[in-house]
Chain A
Amino acid sequence: MNAIEIRNLSKSFGPKQAVNGLDMTVPEGAIYGFIGENGSGKSTTEKIICGLIRESGGTVKLYGKPHTDGDVRASIGVLIEAPGCFPGLSVWNNMMIQAANLRIENAEKEVIKVLKTVRMEGAAGNKYKNCSLGMKQRIGIAMALLGNPRLLILDEPINGLDADGMRIMREVLTDVTKSGATVVISSHVLGELEKIATHYGIIRGGRMIAEMTAEELEASCRTFVSLQAKDMRAAKAILTSRFSHVEEDEAGYLRVYDEVKTEEVVKYLYDRGIVVTEVGTDKIGLEEYYIDLMKGARKNG
């Protein structure tokens, strides 16, 4: 069963097409990393899933039912852009209001539990407006967790979180999916996303340009030999004449993407009088994969 199934979704704001024929499949129990550039249509898609804006066309199904179904929607936890809290009220009162909204029995106990989960129990008495950005994000995550939602939609939840906050969020999201819940998380902090996501969807110009599992991403992420030599210009020229895919990265290292052993590259350079000062193998991560994909997409228009 898929938690979310979107087919041919479109949304336009006047002449601007924010979402354009988007297809998206989120399996139940997945942590789905929803990635895209600013203005690519991520937030719009999430808002449509949550019923906050109406789609211009296409279908959105949650657990096999239309996303307008009240019973399914009642089991969504959401954090879109910023937590929806009343600034003049305390964190506790904001949480209690949301608990009432969700008809949670033993609301006080549940609120304490989620605040403890995000290590915010000490800030319950603080006015929301006096909380820092990181605290607000944690409160937003706690609010989204209230009532054990089956589907969590988190838009940029990592923004403003410190290292401890990010670690807590990773733990929380991994825990909720163990109980069968599904998480859709959009973020520009791809390094963090890579640590938890089980599935990825990459969106550009309102269209899904790639959708894959973490294993598929792993398989498509190439390994490479990375090196530095005393004479980088000569090394590059020699390697380019021998190997088909050689690039210089932003840090000034030469990368050889061909399926070749490190020793072979070093020996090849050594035989031609080039001394290698540093060498190793590495693998391109989600961030580089994403950047490559975007470059390709831009080239293809």
Chain B
Amino acid sequence: MANSFEKNTFGKRFGSMLKVDFKRLFLSRAFYIILAACLLAPVLILVMVTMMDGTVSVDPQTGKETVMEGFDHVWQIIGTVSDPNANAAMGGDAASGAAAMDMSITSMCNINMLYFAIAALVCIFVADDFRSGYQKNLFTVRAKKTDYVASKTVVLTFGAAMMILAFFVGSLVGGAVAGLPYTMEGFNTLNLLMCILAKMVLVSVFVPIYLVMSVVAKQKLWLSILLSMMVGMFLFMMIPMLTPLNATLIHVLLCAVGGVGFGFGLGAIGNLVLKKTSLV
């Protein structure tokens, strides 16, 4: 047998790794369960919050009454308008500027919650490699860890973007079921599409974070989820600011730049972790 080995360029290696990861993603039951949950969650939130709209609860200790406020329109579950004037027009607190600090149920139960759920997708996907022992097959024939990190980033960003899309579709359905209006105040359809696009692109900032935590924790799924939640929380506040309902192409580009920066920076860290640590 001749002592020659086929040259494997980055392109060839990355292409095959992408094929492996996409195959795995589409064969993964967890992915479909998470997508279904993303589709159902907004329907449930919109219907339940609308049902509770106007209900009064009394604190037995203080006797203070609290009136539950529901959604005014469907798009509230997607985000808020960043402009203070538009915010005021929509009934928000003008003085607060961006509605990022609004702690009402309508601002908490929205699409931004998904950025935590994405951690579950990333951590389950990566931990499965290590828990099943598949990493032995994978890393034996793949000396370069860059393939793994780059491919996982791309595939899981795609998967997470699908989660955002599923939530958006679920919101449209949920609005109809709950009988909420689809009125747009302070933004238009193009802004809304840009907002969704920006949110889908913004996942590329979160996925590399969760990916690094996952390769650090390897088969310890609980640890990777815990670390991901802890680190992700620090960036959680920027989501409403970067992806308001009245988003433009600038917002999308900003998210994309952030995604590329985080992807390369944290990708390099993930690569280093895989290189320097035991893979079994």
8 Å CB interface, B6-56 against A:
6-8, 12-13, 15-17, 19-20, 23-24, 27, 29
Given A28-B1, A52-B279, A73 and B140 touching (CB < 8 A)?
A: yes
Q: Is the interface of A mostly helix, strand, loop or mixed?
A: loop
Q: What are the interface flags for A174-198 relative to B under an 8 Å C-beta threshold, 1 for contact and 0 otherwise? A: 0000011100000000000000000
Interface residue? A88 (CB, 8 A):
yes
| B134–A86 CB distance below 8 A | yes
Which residue of A29, A97, A101 is within 8 Å of B141 (Cβ)?
A101
Which of chain A's residues have a CB closer than 8 A to the CB of B7? 71
Which of chain B's residues have a CB closer than 8 A to the CB of A143? 137
Q: CA–CA, A38 to B24, complex, Å?
A: 35
Q: Is the interface of B mostly helix, strand, loop or mixed?
A: helix
Q: Please name the residue on chain B nearest to A62 by beta carbon.
A: B5
| B136–A96 CB distance below 8 A | no
Which of chain B's residues have a CB closer than 8 A to the CB of A100? 16, 19-20, 23
Binds B, one of A76-84, A210-218, A219-227, A271-279: A76-84
Q: CA–CA, A181 to B1, complex, Å?
A: 8
Which of chain A's residues have a CB closer than 8 A to the CB of B261? none
Q: Please name the residue on chain B nearest to A28 by beta carbon.
A: B1
Interface residue? B177 (CB, 8 A):
no
| B132–A86 CB distance below 8 A | yes
Q: CA–CA, A81 to B144, complex, Å?
A: 23
Q: CA–CA, A85 to B132, complex, Å?
A: 6
Which residue of B8, B19, B136 is within 8 Å of A71 (Cβ)?
B8
Given A51-B139, A82-B133, A102-B141, A72 and B5 touching (CB < 8 A)?
A: yes
| B132–A87 CB distance below 8 A | yes
Which of chain B's residues have a CB closer than 8 A to the CB of A126? none
Which of chain A's residues have a CB closer than 8 A to the CB of B3? 1, 63-64
Which of chain B's residues have a CB closer than 8 A to the CB of A85? 132-134
Given A53-B280, A88-B29, A96 and B134 touching (CB < 8 A)?
A: no
Q: What are the interface flags for B122-138 relative to A under an 8 Å C-beta threshold, 1 for contact and 0 otherwise? A: 00000010001111111
Interface residue? B278 (CB, 8 A):
yes
| A74–B24 CB distance below 8 A | no
Which residue of B17, B134, B141 is within 8 Å of A73 (Cβ)?
B141
Q: CA–CA, A91 to B227, complex, Å?
A: 33
Q: CA–CA, A28 to B143, complex, Å?
A: 21
Interface residue? A47 (CB, 8 A):
yes
| A97–B20 CB distance below 8 A | yes
| A103–B12 CB distance below 8 A | yes
Tally of contacts, chain A with chain B, CB under 8 A:
113
| A47–B27 CB distance below 8 A | no
Residues of B in contact, count (CB < 8 Å):
35
Which of chain A's residues have a CB closer than 8 A to the CB of B24? 86, 97
Which of chain A's residues have a CB closer than 8 A to the CB of B137? 78, 84, 98, 101, 143
Interface residue? A68 (CB, 8 A):
yes
Which residue of A29, A78, A83, A96 is within 8 Å of B140 (Cβ)?
A78
Which of chain B's residues have a CB closer than 8 A to the CB of A14? none
Interface residue? A70 (CB, 8 A):
yes
Residues of A in contact, count (CB < 8 Å):
45
Q: Please name the residue on chain A nearest to B277 by beta carbon.
A: A54
Q: Please name the residue on chain B nearest to A104 by beta carbon.
A: B16
Q: CA–CA, A51 to B137, complex, Å?
A: 11
Which of chain B's residues have a CB closer than 8 A to the CB of A89? 27
Which residue of B16, B133, B138 is within 8 Å of A83 (Cβ)?
B133
Top 7 closest A-B pairs, CB basis?
A180-B1, A84-B133, A70-B143, A84-B134, A71-B5, A50-B140, A103-B16
| Residues of chain B having any CB pair with chain A under 8 Å | 1, 3, 5-8, 12-13, 15-17, 19-20, 23-24, 27, 29, 128, 132-144, 276, 278-280
Task: Other than A74-B141, A75-B141, give 17 A-B pairs with Cβ distance below 8 A.
Answer: A28-B1, A52-B135, A52-B136, A52-B279, A63-B3, A64-B3, A68-B143, A71-B8, A74-B8, A74-B142, A84-B135, A84-B137, A97-B24, A97-B134, A101-B17, A103-B15, A181-B1
Sampled A-B contacts (28; CB under 8 Å): A47-B280, A50-B136, A51-B140, A52-B139, A52-B279, A54-B276, A54-B278, A63-B3, A63-B5, A70-B8, A70-B13, A71-B7, A73-B141, A74-B142, A74-B143, A78-B140, A80-B136, A81-B136, A84-B132, A84-B133, A97-B20, A97-B27, A100-B20, A101-B20, A101-B142, A102-B16, A153-B140, A180-B1
